[in-house]
Amino acid sequence: MNPGISVNAEDIESDFSPRKMKILFAIIIGTMFGSLILPMTALSLLLLPLTKEFGWSRTEFSGGFASLMLASAIAAPFAGRLVDKMGVRKVVIGGTAIFGLLVMLLSLQSGALWQFYGIFVLLGLVGSFGIGFPKLLGGLFTRHRGKALAIFGLESSVAGAIAPILVQAMISSLGWRGMFVGMGCVVLATIPVLWIWLHEDRGATNAESPADRMAAMAAQPGFELAEVLRNRDFWFTAVVAFLAVVPFIGLQPHLVPFLESRGFNNSQAVAMLSAMTIASAIGTFVGGWVLDYSKSARIAVPFSLLTAAAFGLCFIVSAATGGLALLFFIVCALGVSGGAKRPMATYFQLRFFGLKSFGAVMGIQIPFQAVGMGMAPVLVGLSYDKLGSYNLAFGVFAGLMMLTVILYLLLRPYRFGNDMSVQEIRDLTAGA
């Protein structure tokens, strides 16, 4: 165990130093153009062209997305351990190179489903290297870590907005096969940026030999994975991370039909979906800001209570009851509270367990979230199909949020300060 290392406050590098800004730029470029975002976007735009050309059903085509997500969830724990042992830089740059070549390989499909699924499985396995970005980002910033993680979360949303335009332009000019070649070139083009500017902490960067670099990474403040897994705070934070994504992912594809069933017209329903998206972006910034001033994970309690209240109001809202004013409050409350939770899972893991095993810890937590994201829309749809109403789903969501309140209140104070290198902390296993 290496809980923390003491240094003088004057030796702490500013969060806005040129070195850190270059690393942040590399992380943004790597996430936007060298991650799973591009192939996931391509899938959403290629359903009709590929099902028509190869005679696949839509269910068969959708298996590509399922293969990608399942493989990514399975690989996350192993990718996290690899990042902790080898360092972010090596894993990310090497993974990006392989990832770009695999994207190009998609252009050679012959119509065999095993081939289609197999390549997306490989993309999911290799794409899990992106787990290194939040680890590097979390260790890079001290006073403004919460805000940085919030920007990282929003940056993925911005990438999701830009990617369809880029992918569709390539499909229109190059065809779908040429699009995959062009997309692979875009991914590979991020490598020079990553090579020049993606560096880890100075101890690992300045080490002269591989053994020294490994020793520097082992000396990072934090706890071994085995110690983390024996502690209740890890399991509480993993559970709340799972529960936090379920209501919002579950509601999103059903929001418009729900509102239409309550007497709102389609234009109003779509406008409210946009309002919730904007509110989520605002909430992400709010969440990041309050995290930087928080003393414990209990800072999340008001956001869970707000979510529970909003779902409670979903039982009564309609065009005749509350109208657009009440509906606007509900979608803004859901958006702000859901967005605020976005940077919290990563932030809490850093403040409780440090950097040493961060990759492995997040690698175990990510599958929890992936399961929640995959199950939630299906269960909401099943609730409606069986009962003809979304009320059961809303009641369950409100109850789950109240459960997160209890779990947040049971979490103990942070073990690391904002600057982990100067914080002396107690033994993790004490009172586990």
Contact (CB, 8 A) for 343 and 349: no
Q: How confident is the model at residue 207 (pLDDT cuts 50, 70, 90)?
A: very low
pLDDT score, position 9: 45
CB under 8 Å to 52, separation ≥6 — which residues? none
Distance separating alpha carbons of residues 83 and 91, to the nearest angstrom? 6
Q: Phi first, then psi: give them for residue 390, nearest 5 degrees.
A: -95, 5
CATH topology of domain 225-416: Growth Hormone; Chain: A; (1.20.1250)
Architecture of domain 14-218: Up-down Bundle (1.20)
The angle subtended at Cα 331 by Cα 320 and Cα 378, nearest 5°, is 100
SS3 of the chain: CECCCCCCHHHCCCCCCHHHHHHHHHHHHHHHHCCCHHHHHHHHHHHHHHHHHHCCCHHHHHHHHHHHHHHHHHHHHHHHHHHHHHCHHHHHHHHHHHHHHHHHHHHHCCCCHHHHHHHHHHHHHHHHHHHHHHHHHHHHCCCCHHHHHHHHHHHHHHHHHHHHHHHHHHHHHHHHHHHHHHHHHHHHHCHHHHHHHCCCCHHHHHCCCHHHHHHHHHCCCECCHHHHHCCHHHHHHHHHHHHHHHHHHHHHHHHHHHHHHCCCCHHHHHHHHHHHHHHHHHHHHHHHHHHCCCCCHHHHHHHHHHHHHHHHHCCCCECCCEHHHHHHHHHHHHHHHHHHHCCHHHHHHHHHHECCCHHHHHHHHHHHHHHHHHHHHHHHHHHHHHHCCCHHHHHHHHHHHHHHHHHHHHCCCCCCCCCHHHCCCCCCCCCC
pLDDT score, position 5: 45
Whose structure tokens read 């960067």? Answer: 205
Residue 311 has pLDDT above 60, yes or no: yes
Residue 425 has pLDDT above 70, yes or no: no
What are 104-140's pLDDT values in tens digits?
Answer: 999 998 889 899 999 989 998 998 888 888 888 777 7
Better-scored residue on pLDDT, 382 or 186: 186
Distance separating alpha carbons of residues 223 and 356, to the nearest angstrom? 6
Better-scored residue on pLDDT, 243 or 5: 243
Do the domains at 14-218 and 225-416 have one common CATH topology?
yes
What mean pLDDT comes out for the span 346-359?
84
Better-scored residue on pLDDT, 72 or 326: 326
pLDDT score, position 201: 61
Domain segments of the chain as ranges: 14-218, 225-416
pLDDT over 90 percentage in the chain: 28
Better-scored residue on pLDDT, 156 or 237: 237
Better-scored residue on pLDDT, 141 or 257: 257
Residue 29 has pLDDT above 80, yes or no: yes
Distance separating alpha carbons of residues 364 and 279, to the nearest angstrom? 29
Q: How confident is the model at residue 309 (pLDDT cuts 50, 70, 90)?
A: very high
pLDDT score, position 324: 92
pLDDT score, position 98: 95
Distance separating alpha carbons of residues 325 and 329, to the nearest angstrom? 6
Contact (CB, 8 A) for 356 and 215: no
pTM more than 0.85: no
What are 267-286's pLDDT values in tens digits?
Answer: 888 888 778 878 888 888 89
pLDDT score, position 202: 53
| Cβ neighbours of 53 (radius 10 Å) | 12
CB under 8 Å to 202, separation ≥6 — which residues? none
pLDDT score, position 106: 92
Distance separating alpha carbons of residues 2 and 221, to the nearest angstrom? 6
Q: How confident is the model at residue 163 (pLDDT cuts 50, 70, 90)?
A: confident
| Cβ neighbours of 215 (radius 10 Å) | 13
What are 40-91's pLDDT values in tens digits?
Answer: 777 767 877 888 899 988 778 878 877 887 888 888 888 888 888 888 899 9
Structure tokens at 39: 């192939």
Letter string b/e over residues 58-87, b meaning 16 or more CB atoms within 10 A of that residue's CB: eeebebbbebbbbbbbbbbbebbbbbbebb
Contact (CB, 8 A) for 226 and 353: no
| Cβ neighbours of 368 (radius 10 Å) | 21
CB under 8 Å to 246, separation ≥6 — which residues? 372, 375, 376, 397, 400
What is the dihedral sign for C-alpha 40, 45, 50, 51? positive
Residue 410 zone, left/alpha/beta (φ > 0; ψ -120 to 50; rest): alpha
CB under 8 Å to 224, separation ≥6 — which residues? 1, 356, 357
